[in-house]
Amino acid sequence: MDEDVAQLVRAERLADAAHLASSRGDARTACDLLERACDFSGAARQAALAGDHARALLLAVTGGDDAMAAQALDRAVGDRAASNTLAARLIARGDFTWAARVYQGRGELASAASAWERAGEAVRAAELYEEAHDPVQASKVLEAALRRDPSKAALHLSLGRLLMRYGKNEAAVRELQKVGASEREHKSALLLLVKGFAALGLDAASAEAKAALERLGGAPPEDLREGVAEVKRRIYGRYDVVREVASTASARVIECVDSIRNERVAVKIMSSFETRGGGRDALARFEREVKVLGTLDHPNVVPLRDYVPDGPAMVLAWMSGGTLEQMMQSPIAPARAVEIAQAVLSALGEAHRLGVLHRDVKPANVLFDDAGVARLADFGVAHLGDLSATATAGLIGTLAYMSPEQREGKPATVQSDLYGVGVILFEMLTGERVGGELPRTRPSGVHRDLDQRHDEAVLRLVSLDPAARPSDAFAARKQLGALSWPHTLEPAALRPKPQTAPSERPSAARLQDAEAESRVDRWTGRVILRVPLDDASLARARAFSRAQTRALQHILRVAREDGSIWVDALRGKPLDRPLGLGERGVLLRALTALHAQGCVHGNLDRAHVHVSDGEVLIAFEPAFDPTASPDTDFAQLARLG
């Protein structure tokens, strides 16, 4: 110590001595002297000048100088050894808040969360536990804090938000409903309740929460920033949401990243079945698919990664190559078409060996992985059991690819699945969908390098007689593999078309008045309604047609020559009374079939529901609200009851 400084110390002029030491560049001595003088803020500044930032933080905290402490914190955590000792000293002194900040600055999230919890900051502690991938501890912290003080709205809000992020919507709603209308957190709770009620299928409650939120002026800006994306950031504790891929009345498919395996997955979440009608059957199909996929382990079956009973949800490997339905929008070389068919047959062969009938083989259920390998998916309508017996078919499966025996309500067999593969292969080779009828063309009539042998192999699969089809999937695969299939697309030479007599009923005279929207079709005697043809109306017309239900207005014809869609005119009169229970069931099944085709109605009011001879019918509507969803349709149907 400098002699001049020492003299001032002996005279107990500590502040003057510290000032003198500091002016002569001895910040460490100045720090010691100011600490003895109880000038902790001044001592902290001198400690910082001396490069001892850990000591500076301790002194600043002691002196209540939060600004100085914050400045020292950034530099203190850079020294790993010193900051480790610093955090321990802060804990020992009971300065849990600053200990938490030190741990947080060091990236030690769990230790920081523990310190925040001891500081009485349960919400901050929970946030850090969740960030440290420990949502269970996060919920425990909040629940413990609520046991101590159940009146704290911020705790209910935080716990509700946490539960919702991990798919625990019912428990989340219970917590959020405990946030009183007088609390400042009420708006934030309402925003989450809108989403939580909707996820549970409680559309009326969701609408009420939304209305209450709007009456209060909308969501707070900070919650709008978080919004639904924050709520759905991670589901079931480990799956980070990327986007929603598809949504039907029965399930949603979400692309996610598995935070543990670090791989993309498809999370298939069953919709709330309790409010949809026919829920037990839907749940049974969902659980059946899990059971089947858990049994099958085959390179041509989409693999099951996990099952989450709380969803219920199944986690499947992500198929980045899309579907066969998408691939078939462009021509496919015969060799590739047969390769895909053989892959599906291999998957079916393994399934059949284990006693499983698929019963819904169609292009949308054939997916492709990163390497382009075809994999069979969607065993939701599969039948488990002894294949020496047969499975009752009913209307299970997609009609366009369903075998003739299933269409007639006869039992499904192994040959029924083979028929579905045959229809797919025939469509890939010719562009024609057989659909339970005799083919109008032959593969050799489309491809120059195919001959009668190829025709026979394909036609055997789509024989109307099940006994004429191959004995099993492996035999079918072998028969296709015994032939050479071209790898290029070589159209067959055009042959002169046979001369036919002119039509006695030319299309120009088919309608009584071609300019009118609603006229009689002279060919069929039906009264038709003409709808302008465009891409949107055509897509919706296809969905109505493929839904295959009498309760949807029938689509009769796409008349490209005059740019219109012919729709069967509605009979009876618009609905003018509440729907009966049976009628609601009919319309519910019709909507479910429509949603399965990826289409929603969106305008289900009394004008769009007609009653004729005791039957109810949903009218075709080419225009609809683009924001509509299956939930919109179900809510509109409920209002008609």
Among 195-204, 228-237, 383-392, where is mean pLDDT lowest?
383-392
Q: pLDDT tens digits for 88-100? A: 888 888 888 888 8
| CA 533 to each of CA 342, 459, 569: distance values in angstroms, whole numbers, following the listed order | 39, 35, 17
Mean pLDDT, residues 432-459: 86
Q: So what's the pLDDT on residue 505?
A: 41
Q: What is the predicted pLDDT for the residue at 334?
A: 93
Question: According to the per-residue pLDDT averaged within each range, which of 127-141, 436-450, 460-474 is highest?
Answer: 460-474
Same domain (yes/no): 345, 476: yes
Q: What are 529's strand-pairing partners? A: 518, 567
Give tens-digit pLDDT for 324-375: 988 888 888 999 999 999 999 999 999 888 888 888 899 989 999 888 899 9
CA dihedral sign, ordered 15, 17, 20, 26: negative
Q: Is the dihedral of CA 383, 387, 393, 396 positive or negative?
A: positive
Q: How confident is the model at residue 622 (pLDDT cuts 50, 70, 90)?
A: confident
Q: C-alpha angle with apex 31: 26 to 33, nearest 5 degrees?
A: 100
Mean pLDDT of the chain: 80
Range 291-295 average pLDDT: 77
Whose structure tokens read 């066969």? 324
Domain boundary among 289, 317, 345: 317
CB atoms within 10 A of CB 25: 11
Whether 121 maps to a domain, the answer reads yes
Q: Distance (Å, rounded) from C-alpha 370 to C-alpha 224?
A: 37
Q: Check whether 14 has a pLDDT greater than 90.
A: no
Q: What is the mean pLDDT of residues 580-605?
A: 83
Q: Residue 370 belongs to a domain with what CATH number? A: 1.10.510.10
What tokens appear for 630 in the block? 């299956």
Q: What are phi and psi of 369, to 5 degrees?
A: -85, -170
pLDDT for 472: 94
Do 211 and 175 fall within a single domain? yes
Model pTM score? 0.45
Q: Is 320 helix (H, G, I), strand (E, B) or coil?
A: coil
- Residue 558 inside a domain? The answer is yes
- Which of 142-156, 234-248, 504-518 has the lowest average pLDDT? 504-518
**What average pLDDT does the segment 197-223 reach?**
76
User: Averaging pLDDT over each range in 212-221, 285-294, 618-627, which range is the top one?
Assistant: 618-627
Domain with 255 in it: 239-317
Q: What is the pLDDT of residue 276?
A: 41
Residue 418's pLDDT is: 95
277 in any annotated domain: yes
Instruction: Give me the pLDDT at residue 498, please.
Output: 43
pLDDT of residue 494: 39
Q: In whole angstroms, give the CA distance from residue 173 to residue 164.
A: 8
Q: Which of 481, 513, 545 is the last residue of a domain?
A: 481
CA distance 134 to 109: 10
pLDDT band per the 50, 70, 90 thresholds, residue 438: confident
Comparing CA positions, the residue from 507, 619, 588 lying closest to residue 249 is 588
Our count of domains for the chain comes to 4
pLDDT of residue 184: 86
Residues 310 and 336 in one domain: no
The DSSP bridge pattern shows strands 383-384 and 518-520 to be unpaired
Are residues 249 and 384 located together in one domain of the fold? Answer: no
Local structure of 241: helix, strand or coil: strand
Highest mean pLDDT among 257-261, 264-268, 379-383: 264-268
- Looking at the chain, the whole-number percentage of residues with pLDDT higher than 90 is 15
pLDDT at position 388, please? Answer: 41
Q: Are residues 456 and 372 in the same domain?
A: yes
Structural domain includes residue 224: no
Q: How confident is the model at residue 219 (pLDDT cuts 50, 70, 90)?
A: low
Please check whether residue 24 lies inside any domain of the structure.
yes
With a cut of 70, say whether residue 272 has pLDDT above it.
no
Phi, psi of 182 (to 5 degrees): -90, -5
Q: Are residues 336 and 308 in the same domain?
A: no
Query: For 31-45, how does the pLDDT look when each residue is reduced to its tens digit (9 = 90+)?
Result: 888 888 888 888 888
185 and 300 in a common domain:
no
User: Are 561 and 544 in the same domain?
Assistant: yes
Asked if residue 232 belongs to a domain, the reply is: no
- 510 in any annotated domain: no
pLDDT of 156? 92
Q: Quick one: 125 and 171 in the same domain?
A: yes
Is the domain of 42 the same as that of 125? yes
Is the model's pLDDT at 280 over the cut of 70?
no
What pLDDT is stored for residue 279 in this prediction?
52
- Residue 288's domain is classified under what CATH number? 3.30.200.20
In this structure, what token pair is assigned to residue 150? 């159940």
| pLDDT per residue as tens digits for the range 525-534 | 667 888 888 8
Strand partners, 618: 552, 609
pLDDT at 252 over 50: yes
Q: Average pLDDT, stretch 494-511? A: 44
- Give the domain-ending residue among 267, 283, 317: 317
Question: How many residues are given for the chain?
Answer: 641
Query: Same structural domain for residues 199 and 247?
Result: no
Do residues 42 and 147 both lie within one domain?
A: yes
The whole-number average pLDDT for the span 313-319 is: 89
Lowest mean pLDDT among 377-391, 475-489, 563-577, 626-640: 377-391
pLDDT of amino acid 525: 63
The per-residue pLDDT for range 395-436, each reduced to its tens digit, is 444 567 888 888 877 888 899 999 999 999 999 998 888 766
Q: What confidence score (pLDDT) does residue 347 get?
A: 92
SS percent in the chain: helix, strand, coil, step 5: 50, 15, 35
Query: Is residue 501 in some structural domain?
Result: no
469 membership: H or E segment, kind and range = none
Asked if residue 278 has pLDDT above 50, the reply is no
Q: Which stretch of DSSP H or E encloses residue 376?
A: strand 374-376
Q: What is the pLDDT of residue 524?
A: 58
CATH of the domain at 186: 1.25.40.10
